[in-house]
Amino acid sequence: MRALKLNGRISHDHTLRVSVPPEVPEGPAEVIVLLPEESQEPDGTLRDFLGRLAQHPRKVRSKDEIDRALAAERASWG
């Protein structure tokens, strides 16, 4: 199956109209509709985020601790 990303418009009567490129053959197609989220606005400002971030403790790990954790993760793969 081949996927195409196209833009369409839903009209007032809830009809979706999409034009496909000429090389798309006639026949059945599956349609998936992705609607934009209600709000595309971020939650607060960067200053708000940094303020919330400061409230959470950070775990500082050494290079050796990170290397051991990565080795253990890789060992679990196989």
First to last CA, the chain: 32
Q: What is the pLDDT along the chain (78 residues), one digit of tens a residue?
A: 678 888 888 888 989 888 888 998 888 888 888 887 776 566 678 888 888 888 888 888 999 999 999 999 999 997
Residue 42: per-residue pLDDT: 64
- Cite the DSSP H helix spans in 1-78: 46-54, 63-76
CA nearest to 32, candidates 78, 76, 1:
1
Q: Is the pTM of this model over 0.95?
A: no
User: Hey, where are the domains in the chain?
Assistant: 9-35+42-76
16, two tokens:
């979706």
Residue (of 8, 14, 54) closest to 34 by Cα position: 8
